Chain A
Amino acid sequence: MSRGTRNGHRAVIAGVATSDYPRLPEMSEHAVHGQAADRALADAGLTMADVDGFASTGFFPMYATGVAEYLGLHPTYYDETNAGGASFEVLVEHAAYAIECGAAEVVLITYGSIQLSQMGRRLGTGGGGGAGFAPGPAIYDALWGNTLVGSYALAARRHMHQFGTTPEQLASVAVTMRQHAASNPQAQEREPITVEDVVSSRLVADPLHKLDCCVISDGGGACVVTTAERAADLRKTPIHILGAAHSTTHHMNISAMPDLTVTPAAQCGPIAFARAGISPADVDVAQLYDSFTITVVLTVEDLGFCPKGEGGAFVENGGLGLGGRLPTNTDGGGLSACHPGMRGMFLIVEAVRQLRGEGGATQVPDAKIAVAHGTGGMLSTGATLILGQEAP
């Protein structure tokens, strides 16, 4: 469905914010949601009293309902679709549909996590290697000591085998993210690194090194989706949702992924671009889920920024840097800025900031169109949001 006007409404993003990050040892998970929500609403010039729709997602059923309770909200539209790291792109897409059909007027979407402070009490990104919790078919991949990193390593190895992608090319993704993080005072890791630093860092799961992996953080974010009419009187310039789509290829089992070099982005990316009526060449800045360096290489290919197999060459030599082929993850990404577990919200916040010209030292000059693409699970889910400064 195209992002046109429906029932007189067009959905826009009117407010965005991140919570404090990357370390929040004195905050509860729900308080992180609240801090991000307060800031995003203030950014938009709204209050909790204006909210009639709410969306969030976390690790437990009825999670959004629980956060709404904590925040004192009684929404008549809510959503807690969980697509892992792609969740928040999906929630924004759903919110846009709700806005367009008149089911809600102000949808608040929040994310919060204290994964870093909870390490040891809950599985982190580097864990997941036991067989203790493997419901139903998840058991088939759970008996071998594979880890979350291991699943992405399987994809990286296959990509290297099929296309000759090198560890150095993967490493260049991490190097560029760190360059961007150097300008982000909140970023968890800001010390410059080189390709050599990455490939000589400890192997976690061949061929992925420690510095090919995202950081583990506390943090959250929020955004406010409303109608263009409502946003016209609000504090910030509204950012338009030009196109959106999501897809899935499998769930828990990387052994069920049809082709380890092709992610769900290859399905939902072209649909999102078609809905937006633009092509990848029109994109000025990208926020691409970077759980691992390989995730970005696969995503630039699948979204059509380069042909399949050429992602390694695309990302190397500053291809994702400012002034590069596709300036990407201008806040430093999950590899350096923060990765509290389901980072999709941060992609949306940074994309909106870029389109408003609020990007600071990593502002992409004259950025008019941004892509935020989330990837979740074991490369299992993808969701693409195409955002624009101007109405479609």
Chain B
Amino acid sequence: MTDTPATDDRPPKPRPAPIADHDSAPYWKALHDGRLLVQRCQDCHQFQLYPRDRCLACRGPVTWEEASGRGTIYSFTVIRQNYARPFRNWIPYVVALVDLEEGPRIMSNVIDCDPNAVQVGMGVEATFEVVSDNAGIALFRPVT
């Protein structure tokens, strides 16, 4: 096994885009339009992500609400080895679990900062990137 080569002469590859299904299509579409949605149970009012057809807590019906986009870092890692494109070209980069203000925890990248400056408990806010005709993603940057 060898370390990741310093150079990669293969053509650049775009960030992967999700394939939406019945549960997730509104989520990805809203992100495409620059809005982060969370689901909320109409019966027990609990927030949840990832999107599901029913409430995780009580199996009640769910609706969508727009999240504030703010959260804190629950945990993170700095990826320094990954052979998969496009990520290999971005090493080192931060993968984090972000606890949204509304409660749900999601995985994302923390960008626009020195990976070595990231800390558990750090405040972050969402920034959006379009990755296909009907999907976007939420990335996070430190709250300044």
**A residues in contact (CB < 8 Å) with B:** 119, 126-127, 129-132, 136-137, 139-147, 149-150, 153-155, 157-158, 161, 202-208, 216, 253-256, 260
Interface pair A143/B137, CB less than 8 Å apart: yes
Which listed residue (B79, B82, B120) contacts A157, Cβ 8 A?
B120
Given A144-B107, A154-B95, verify A202-B80 contact (CB < 8 Å): yes
Q: Which residues of A contact B24 (CB under 8 A)?
A: 139
Interface pair A142/B16, CB less than 8 Å apart: yes
Interface pair A130/B1, CB less than 8 Å apart: no
**B residues in contact (CB < 8 Å) with A:** 1, 3, 15-16, 18-19, 21, 24, 49-50, 74-85, 87, 90, 93, 95, 97, 105-109, 120-121, 131, 137
Q: Which residues of A contact B109 (CB under 8 A)?
A: 144-145
Q: Which residues of A contact B106 (CB under 8 A)?
A: 140, 255
How near does chain B come to A265, taking the closest CB pair, in angstroms?
A: 19
Interface pair A137/B50, CB less than 8 Å apart: yes
Which 5 A-B pairs give the minimum distances between C-beta atoms? A145-B87, A130-B84, A131-B16, A153-B77, A129-B82
Complexed CA–CA distance, A4 and B5 (Å):
57
Q: Which residues of A contact B50 (CB under 8 A)?
A: 137, 140, 253, 255-256
Closest to A258 in B: B105
Closest to B15 in A: A143
Given contact pairs A140-B107, A143-B18, enumerate 14 new A-B contacts (beta carbons under 8 Å).
A130-B85, A130-B87, A140-B50, A140-B106, A142-B16, A145-B79, A145-B82, A154-B75, A154-B97, A157-B75, A161-B75, A161-B120, A206-B80, A255-B105
Given A140-B50, A141-B107, verify A147-B82 contact (CB < 8 Å): yes
Closest to B116 in A: A206
Q: Which residues of A contact B137 (CB under 8 A)?
A: 143
Interface pair A147/B79, CB less than 8 Å apart: yes
Given A139-B19, A145-B93, A146-B95, verify A127-B84 contact (CB < 8 Å): yes
Interface pair B1/A205, CB less than 8 Å apart: no
Q: Provide 25 A-B residue pairs closer than 8 Å at the C-beta atoms, listed in order of the A residue.
A: A119-B1, A127-B83, A129-B79, A130-B16, A130-B85, A130-B87, A137-B50, A142-B16, A143-B131, A145-B87, A146-B77, A150-B79, A150-B95, A157-B76, A157-B77, A157-B120, A158-B120, A161-B121, A202-B80, A205-B79, A205-B80, A205-B95, A206-B78, A253-B50, A260-B97
Interface pair B77/A129, CB less than 8 Å apart: no
How near does chain B come to A13, taking the closest CB pair, in angstroms?
A: 35
Complexed CA–CA distance, A206 and B118 (Å):
11
Complexed CA–CA distance, A141 and B49 (Å):
12
Which listed residue (B19, B81, B90, B131) contacts A147, Cβ 8 A?
B81
